[in-house]
Structure 1
């Protein structure tokens, strides 16, 4: 008899505990559903403060030494030209010389192809990195002056960078967070609720494009180096409880 009473009591207690756990689960589930997820945007326009530029020049000859001597002379002319334009010598960087053998391919009367040695082609590049953006821009636009010195020179487009990107990023994160919170408060207000605690915050990647452009954003982040003027943007996703 006592054993039956004890068994019934244990079963009843287990039933009560089960109801309690079920109620808690329902309560927590409803609590997780009462959330607001919003995305805020932070943007910043700025002007690049660092520029890089490069160009390459080459010489061709059947004699390797002759080609190298001619290339060395070109290098001296280019260095003197750049220095005359106000470029410090320590900012002028020449790459190692690239040496390539050139061949001509001809076919004989039988249709067989043969190669003949056409000489050596030696190529070298020069590059600059400077915070004097205007000076390097002007230099890159007037590169025909080097060509007029008798040098076969090919110039690349300048690339533009910004050295204080960390400061820009912090400002954008603050603006994006503020924007997201204001959106969440407005949604809660329109729903007749109060905004609760912040549950989760997720930051997107920084995207840097030319202003007013139609450049596509990328999953890993975009960094436009072709435009001196830039516009950066970042998104912040916030998830709040709603009371």
Structure 2
């Protein structure tokens, strides 16, 4: 084989290799575009559902507190003197043993700071007072009973608690004990809402909605009735007797 023939044969071989590489690359590109097309045939929609609920459990906490600047013994004596009035109040509310819980009595010195004028200058002075307290927790499915007890404590027992004894009353917390069942039902309703929205969008383009590719559950919002504000991390209202529970889901559907 002459030198010219060998050069010609090498050129043909190089062209063939290049052509094969181009074909292979072309096949790869086409397959990539096909996969990309399939991956893009997805519609992302958000569905939501809301249900109104009425709280079925009320929780109220209050603390009886006695304090004295003199000694812990003096504070405890004041605390004991107020017990008859407290016992009458508790009996009057007809709480069962399951509805009312008394925490152990606590007694301890407490340091605080006051501003006093010394030598014509205002200075911070540290003082000590002695505190005896007992916390109570009342809870009942009888919402009206708890509401009545709060009113009675404000109207009678607080007025009767004199001589350094006070009652610190917390706000009523309104809870719903069947929330787990409501959440499951709302997730189902929200998913169906998402599917209806996806179908409406797909049909407008002449397509159909297929299987679910991905699904993500959003946070639950438990808000006062008719309130529209939401929190990114979810909310759980305990101030309102009447509430709305809202569930949100985000779903990717395959489009055919």
TM-score interval, normalised by the smaller of the two chains: 0.7 to 0.9
**Residues 181 and 118 from structure 1, CA distance in 2 versus in 1: closer, same or farther, beyond 3 angstroms?**
closer
TM-aligned CA distance change 1:208 to 1:114, over 3 Å: closer
Over the residues paired in the alignment, what is the CA RMSD in angstroms?
Answer: 2.7
**C-alpha spacing 1:193/1:140, structure 2 compared with 1 (3 Å):** same
Tell me which moved more, 41-50 or 55-64. 55-64
> Is 1:237–2:250 an aligned residue pair?
yes
Q: Deviation at 1:113?
A: 4.0
- In the superposition, the TM-score normalised over structure 2's length comes to 0.82
Gap change, CA 1:39 and 1:191, over 3 Å in 2: same
* Map of 2:74 onto structure 1: 66
Q: Give me the whole-angstrom Cα distance separating, in 1, the residues matched to 2:20 and 2:128.
A: 98
Name whichever of 114-123 and 200-209 sits farther off: 114-123
TM-score (norm 1): 0.86
Cα deviations by residue, 1:136-172 (Å, 9 ceiling, x for unpaired):
1221122222123335223211001111111110010
| Counterpart mapping for 1:179-194 below 5 A | 179-194=193-208
Match of 1:222 among 210, 235, 243: 235
Aligned partner of 1:138 among 141, 145, 148: 148
Aligned equivalents of 2:239, 2:104: Cα separation in 1: 23
Q: CA deviation at 1:107?
A: 1.8
Residue 182 of structure 1 and its aligned partner are, at CA, apart by 0.5
Q: Is the 8 A contact 1:40 1:180 kept in 2?
A: yes
Cα deviation for residue 79 of structure 1 reads: 4.0
* 8 Å contact kept, 1:101–1:121: no
Instruction: Give the length in aligned residue pairs.
Output: 242
State whether residues 209 and 231 of structure 1, in contact with CA within 8 Å, keep that contact through their aligned partners in structure 2: yes
2:39 matched to 1:50? Answer: no
SS at match of 1:142: helix
Matched, 1:147 2:147: no
Distance 2:84 2:12 in 1: 106
Taking the aligned partners of 2:52 and 2:170, their CA distance within structure 1 comes to 26
Distance 1:198 1:148 in 2: 64
Whether the 8 Å CA contact 1:54–1:155 is kept in 2: the answer is yes
- Deviation at 1:105? 4.5
Deviation at 1:227, TM superposition (A): 0.6
125-134 or 158-167, larger mean C-alpha shift: 125-134
Query: What's the offset of the Cα at 1:6?
Result: 7.0
CA positional deviation for 1:184: 0.7
Q: Which runs of 5+ in 2 are unaligned?
A: 1-7
Query: Which of residues 15, 24, 30 is equivalent to 2:37?
Result: 30
Answer yes or no: is the 8 Å Cα contact 1:41–1:233 preserved in 2: yes
Larger gyration radius, structure 1 or structure 2: 2
Structure 1 residue 106 corresponds to structure 2 residue 116: yes
| Worse overlay, 38-47 or 195-204 | 195-204
The alpha-carbon distance between structure 1 residues 7 and 49, as it changes in their structure 2 partners (threshold 3 A), is same
